Structure 1
Amino acid sequence: MAKHLTDKDIANVCELLDDWPMDSKLTWDKLVEAVEHDYRLTTTRQTLQKQTRIKTAFTEVKALVSGNSPSARASRNRHLPPSLKVAADQLAKKERTIERLEADNHRLLEQFHTWLYNATQHGMTIEQLNEPLEIKQDK
């Protein structure tokens, strides 16, 4: 049975997508299999698709793998010696990771601004919002 995904699970799946080989077809079923193999996490396509971060990363990598993105077409036109191909693949992976993290950061900033606006509309002050969390005491 599929379980709810934690933030760590979502980060792991996104990292798995960042590492997805560009010469391997990407499908939701293959992703589910890879998650189970790499992280021993039994999940479903539907569970993965519900997560915005995973769905966005999947869509971006799918476009790259299928050759439907400008960077995929450009890299296909370059013929590199094997020693440089490894470095180019690593660089492309880092660039994909950076792009995904920047998009995640942008979405989180938008969410923060929405929460801030709504909180001030309901009479909360910045000071109230910045109060530290209470420390739970173990008994």
Structure 2
Amino acid sequence: MAKHLNDKDINNVVELLDDWPTDTKLTWDKLVEAVQHDYKLTTTRQTLQKQPRIKSAYKEVKEIISGSPTLSDKGKKKLPASLSAAADMIEKRDRTIERLEKENRALLEQFHTWLYNSDLHGITIAQLSQPLPTKDE
């Protein structure tokens, strides 16, 4: 039985997508299998697709895989194994950075929307900045 994904699960799946080899076909079924294998998390394609962060990361990796070979892909055959591994690490980090920058921009846009709407409805910054209640309250 598939379970609901928490923030940690979503982060794990997105990181798995960041590390997805660009020379390996990506499908939702393969992603479900990889999540099961790497994180012992039983889930479904539909559960994964419902999460915007996962869906966005999946789409980005799919575009990279289906796109034309990059310069680093062409040059990998000439590189020694250690340099090829380093190039793969750099490529994965670049993909992670790009995804995180997109997520950050989306969150900033959401924040500005909330700020505008709160101001429009007379909610002050002080009210918005109140700490969350603890379990004791």
| Common topology (TM > 0.5) | yes
1-structure distance, mates of 2:70, 2:93: 18
Residue number in structure 1 paired with 2:85: 86
Aligned match for 1:73, one of 70, 73, 86: 70
Residue number in structure 1 paired with 2:102: 103
Aligned length: 135
Instruction: Give the counterpart letter for 2:117 in structure 1.
Output: N
Deviating beyond 3 angstroms after TM superposition, the runs of 4 or more aligned structure 1 residues are: none
2-structure distance, mates of 1:77, 1:23: 12
Instruction: Give the counterpart letter for 1:110 in structure 2.
Output: E
Normalised to the residue count of structure 2, the TM-score between the two structures is: 0.91
Residue number in structure 1 paired with 2:27: 27
Q: CA deviation at 1:30?
A: 0.1
Q: Partner of 2:70: helix, strand, or coil? A: helix
Q: CA deviation at 1:122?
A: 1.4
User: Does residue 99 of structure 2 align to residue 119 of structure 1?
Assistant: no
Q: CA deviation at 1:73?
A: 2.4
Aligned-pair Cα RMSD in Å = 1.5
Residue number in structure 2 paired with 1:5: 5
Residue number in structure 1 paired with 2:129: 130
Q: CA deviation at 1:99?
A: 0.7
Instruction: Give the counterpart letter for 1:41 in structure 2.
Output: L
Moved more, 118-127 or 26-35: 118-127
Structure 2: state its 5+ residue gaps: none
User: Does residue 46 of structure 2 align to residue 46 of structure 1?
Assistant: yes
1-structure distance, mates of 2:115, 2:131: 16
Q: What whole-Å deviation, never above 9, does each CA across 1:60-92 have from its counterpart, x for those lacking one?
A: 1112222x16xx422222232222100000111
Instruction: Give the counterpart letter for 2:64 in structure 1.
Output: L
Q: What whole-Å deviation, never above 9, does each CA across 1:32-79 have from its counterpart, x for those lacking one?
A: 01001111111111111111111111111112222x16xx42222223
Identity of aligned residues (%): 67
Normalised to the residue count of structure 1, the TM-score between the two structures is: 0.90
